[in-house]
Amino acid sequence: MVDYDSWKLPIGLYEKALPDNLSWENRLLMTRDAGYNFLEISIDKTDERLSRLNWSKTEINKLKENIEKINVPITTMCLSANRHFPIGSSFENIQKKGVEIILNAIKFSFYLGIKIIQIACYDVLDGEKSTDLSRQVFISNLEKCVEFAGSKGIMLAIENVDTKFGDSIDKTMDLADTIGSPWLQIYPDIGNLVAMRQDVDHQLQAGKNHIVAIHVKDTVDGVVRRIPFGEGIVDFISAFNTLKRVKFYGPMLIEMWAGDKKDNFDTIKDSREWVIDRLKQSNYSINNFVV
């Protein structure tokens, strides 16, 4: 019989909250010891992280062995590399590279056991003009990726970002609705909504029934990165209340950046407790958490 009180709202840690020089074993140990349920792997534009998508089965299996031993899964992927290789770009080489990155990310996720890949909602490069054509090309290329993801049982989920093309859940939902596949949903970032002056309650309700994961971070007006929890302007309790009303119980990802810190353990542990305190003040059941 299922013990419903033992269920946990899974709270994960963004890989970049950890120092870069850690081994995978130590990354997973640090994540576990700070109380998190899972780790979100980061695939950004750097050669080191992009090269992971070309790992051999042996390399992937070695990471799987560490996951099994330490009992901390890598459930989600933050695929931010497409900010620099957007699939709607007018530069054909950039566009093709972007599609290749997503397809390789799907294959990597299939072999490692990742369930959700976050797709950053950038259609063109910074400085390149977003147009109706870039939107059409973005949708066409994303649809091809969604078909492949579905064949592997991998969920793609669009994140709202800090550009006009994708700065709201209204817009990410419109893209998802246009493609119309169960394998394409949305992965809202609460902090991004606030930084881009969106109505968080309205936006989260707009994504009702399609939110598969949530990024949690603090931000200020126009600044979407590296604001410590409690120093920004995000009303977390209000946002969590809305998430409870729309019946969100999926992965909740705490996003931070270690920067040059060699030991970030206290920060990631304290940040998790800070967020859980706000969740307790919302309508989420306390029984859902590892405390």
Question: What does the pLDDT look like over 143-179, one tens digit per residue?
Answer: 999 999 999 999 999 999 999 999 999 999 999 999 9
Mean pLDDT of 178-201: 98
- What the block records as the tokens of 122 is 């950038």
Q: Does the pLDDT value for residue 114 go beyond 60?
A: yes
Mean pLDDT of 103-114: 98
pTM of the model: 0.94
**Cβ proximity of 105 and 68 under 8 Å:** no
- Class of the domain covering 4-288: alpha beta
Mean pLDDT of 243-255: 94
Please report which confidence band the pLDDT of residue 7 belongs to, taking 50, 70 and 90 as the band edges.
Answer: low
pLDDT of residue 6: 47
Closest CA to 197 of 239, 234, 226: 234
Which strand (E) or helix (H) includes residue 227? Answer: strand 223-227
Closest CA to 192 of 239, 156, 241: 239
**Cβ proximity of 259 and 220 under 8 Å:** no
- What the block records as the tokens of 172 is 């990410």
Q: Does the pLDDT value for residue 62 go beyond 70?
A: yes
Q: Does the pLDDT value for residue 291 go beyond 90?
A: no
Q: Which residues contact 277 (CB under 8 A, 6 or more apart)?
A: none
Q: Does the pLDDT value for residue 1 go beyond 50?
A: no
Q: Does the pLDDT value for residue 56 go beyond 50?
A: yes
pLDDT of residue 205: 98
Mean pLDDT of 126-134: 97
Q: Does the pLDDT value for residue 289 go beyond 90?
A: no
pLDDT of residue 287: 43
Helices 132-152 and 92-112, axial angle in degrees (round to 10): 20
pLDDT of residue 96: 98
Mean pLDDT of 2-15: 72
Please report which confidence band the pLDDT of residue 5 belongs to, taking 50, 70 and 90 as the band edges.
Answer: very low
What's the mean pLDDT when you consider all of the chain? 94
Question: What does the pLDDT look like over 63-94, one tens digit per residue?
Answer: 999 999 999 999 999 999 999 999 999 999 99
Please report which confidence band the pLDDT of residue 246 belongs to, taking 50, 70 and 90 as the band edges.
Answer: very high
pLDDT of residue 9: 80
Query: Residue 33 and residue 249: Cα distance in Å, rounded?
Result: 23
